[in-house]
C-alpha cells in the first residue's frame, strides 16, 4: 500500500541513520588507511528482493555490482 508522507519520512530517516552508523563503524574499525581515509567502501540497505533501499555518501560502484553476487 501507499505510505503517508510522515511515515515515509520517519522510515527513510531511520534507514539513513542505520547506514550512517554502518559507515562510522567501518571507518573506526578499519585496519587500512584505504578504508579509513579514502572511504573506499559502501554501506547500503537492501530489501528481500535485493533492491537498494538506502545508501549514503559512499562509492556507488560497489553497490551497483550486487546483482553479480
- Residues of the chain falling short of pLDDT 50: none
CA 69, CA 67: separation in Å to the nearest integer?
6
Q: How far apart are CA 60 and CA 69, in angstroms?
A: 16
- Hey, is 44 helix, strand or coil? strand
Tens digit of pLDDT for each residue in 5-19?
999 999 999 999 999
Can you point out the beta strands (E) in 1-69? 44-46, 52-55
Please state whether the predicted TM-score (pTM) of the whole model is above 0.75.
Answer: no
Average model confidence (pLDDT) across the chain = 82
Amino acid at each position: 500500500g501507499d505510505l503517508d508522507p510522515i511515515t515515509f519520512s520517519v522510515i527513510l530517516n531511520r534507514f539513513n541513520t542505520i547506514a550512517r552508523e554502518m559507515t562510522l563503524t567501518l571507518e573506526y574499525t578499519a585496519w587500512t588507511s584505504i578504508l579509513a581515509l579514502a572511504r573506499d567502501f559502501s554501506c547500503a540497505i537492501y530489501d528481500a528482493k535485493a533492491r537498494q533501499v538506502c545508501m549514503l555518501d559512499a562509492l556507488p560502484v560497489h553497490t551497483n555490482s550486487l546483482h553479480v553476487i
